[in-house]
Each structure stands twice: as structure tokens, then as C-alpha cells.
Amino acid sequence: MKQVVSTERLPIKMWLNDLEPGALAQAKNLANLPFAFKHIPLMPDSHQGYGMPIGSILATKGVVIPNAVGVDIGCGMCVQKTSLKSIDKDNLKQVLGEARKLIPLGFNWHDEAQDEAFMPDMDFENLLIVNRGIHKARKQIGSLGGGNHFIEIQQGSDGFIWVMIHSGSRNLGHSVATHYNKLATKMNEKWHSVVTKKMELAFFPIETDEAKNYIKEMKYCVEFALKNRTLMMKRMMQALETVCGAFETDEMINESHNFAAWENHFGENVLVHRKGATRAFDGELGMIPGSQGTKSYIVKGKGNPESFNSCSHGAGRKMGRKQAIRELDLEAEIALLDEQDIVHAIRNKSDLDEATSAYKDIDIVMENQKDLAEIVVELKPLAVLKG
């Protein structure tokens, strides 16, 4: 932990020294919520989001806040180790070509609904928003999405090839989040709540039907996001096998970083909202990616109670998307990746929102959270697919 802000109702505990003013203002809003519990942890990748900083954790008593989970419910990462030891650059390009045939990128979907067996084995009949979007979801499962979502082939410090995927619940999670945040905002205005519309932290009391419905739909979206990553990983392994021949794999590691769950902390049962934060219980395996041009890490959680057993979900942005496109130099960013011989996804000026220099220094991020997670394997990027 780097510093503590003690000016608000609850302390704000920070694992970074470079928090932007907008994110600090949002953290102060969290700290002054009457139902916020104990303190507000900010991870070393924290930056401003909607209502709540990305890379923060909020434990509440008696309420759930849709915007404290975010619009991409269940967004997270998975990683799988293969028995392959190396892949040359020509083969990497072929693998990416095969992957593009199997996995829609960006706003693209599958032309046909995917097998129902790939979908979550959960009852969605009584879930209003999920039920409305379920047919579209069957075409979106196994697709990457845009923004900062990626598929990366990596060389591990253990000598093996790994595949990492970052993706979420596609349109399904967005629809659920938007519906319930709007509903909560209307209800809060009707109650003349101290949580104003401008704060973007509208809530439901946990005993209300609205809260119960949101939590059920959120859980479905978290499971859908996992199934989405699982299917993409299955198809990445198909692409690898097509080019490289047969190989073995370890069990896939998965961690969501946009969700809310009941947990016991400091002797009390609270609803822990993680928005761009990875769970890091003692001994729990997770992953912390860098950017297209930097290392990622397999980590083991240390179960630090001060962070509500959490760590960062990545390097974190240091530049907004529009700022990065406006200010970064395309040739310099391409050269940065080419020097490392990475098969990357920077082609045009519009791609600079995901350039290496748009992100914080992953080495500093990892150093700042040594008390939260232990590095198990370092992963060097070899080839990247972006949405």
C-alpha cells in the first residue's frame, strides 16, 4: 500500500501514487456512501471510470450498485498453458489467420447461433433482460468484442507457450447493466437519495425485487462471459493444432474482474463489488496482463485483507482512448512492437487507443502490489489479436 486518504467518512487505501483527479473524486464519492463498508481499496492500475474508478473495490452492507460492477458484466481473463515450447513467426501468423476464421472480432458475431451446449447451464426463463437477448447471445458466444479485449499467444518464463484471452459478456451484459442502472437511478431520484444522479452510483436495497432480479441476471452474465472465453479458448487451441500439430494443455485458469459477490471480510458478510479488479484469495491463481508490447503475469493471491483479497486486473490506462489517438505517434508505436518481433495489431492511427504507451508501466504496477499477489510465471507477448 502506497498511501491512505483519511479526509472522507471511510479511508481510501491506495496501491499507487499516480491517481488522476477524476478517479480520486470518484473514490471520495464511494468513501462517503452511507452503506460503504470499512474502506475503499484502489489497485495500482486504477483510473477514472463511470461512477467508480476502474481498478477499485467497494464492499457494501444492504445494497447492490449496478454501476459498481460496470457495463461489461463478467468481463475477465482466462489463460491456458500448452505443451508447445516455441512457435516461429510464420506459424504465429498462420495461427492468427486460422483463429480469425473461428472467432469473430470487434463488433462481429457468428452468422449462425452456436450450439446450445456452449451456453450456461442455468435457468434464464425468469430473467427479463437476459431472456430478451438470449437469441442474439447464441450468435455472440465465442466472439471477442472490441475495446481492450484481446487474444494473445505468449512465451512463458517456464519454457512453454500460453494463450491468454480477455473478454466479457458482449451485448448481454451491457443490456442488463444499462437496464438496471437506469431503473436504480429512477428509484433513487424518487426517494430523494443522497446518492445523486451525477454520482452515477444508483443502488437497490438488497431486499427489493429489483436487487434480487439484478443479482440473478448479473450471475447469468458472469457465467455467460466465462462460457464465451471458454469457447474462444477451445477454438484457439484448434487453430494452434491446425498449424502446429497435436499437443497437450493444462487446465484453464479463469478470473472475472467485473462482478459482485457475497464474501466475509473483517467478520461481516458484505457484498463485494469489483470493477476492474481481480480476486486474489490466498493461493488463488490469476493473471495480470500488461499491454501489446509488455509482459503479462500468472500470479498467486496473497489474501491481503486490506484489499478485500484483490489485486489489479492489468496495467491500467494512463491515457484516454481519444487522447492516445490524438497524441501518440503511429510509427513510434509500431517500431516499439516490431523491435520485440511481436505480431501485433497496430496498423492505423485509430489503433493507437490500444498502443503500449496508452498504458501504465506494468513493472511499476507489479512492484506496487507485491503485498497482494506473487508472480508465478512471466509471459512475453508473441502475437496479438485485438477487437
List Cβ neighbours of 102 (8 Å cut-off, separation of 6 or more): 142, 235, 236, 238, 239
Q: Which of 383, 378, 328, 368 is nearest to 15 (CA)?
A: 368
**Which three cell numbers, joined as nine digits, stand for 31?**
468513501
Phi, psi of 361, rounded to the nearest 5 degrees: -70, 115
Torsion angle, alpha carbons of 140, 176, 261, 224, to 10: -20
Report the distance separating Cα 322 and Cα 340, nearest Å: 26
Report the distance separating Cα 138 and Cα 140, nearest Å: 5
Catalytic residue of the set 257, 273, 313, 344? 313
Q: Is the dihedral of CA 307, 308, 313, 318 positive or negative?
A: negative
Report the distance separating Cα 27 and Cα 347, nearest Å: 36
Strand partners, 256: 76
- Does 313 participate in catalysis according to the annotation? yes
3-class secondary structure, 131: helix
Active site residues: 313
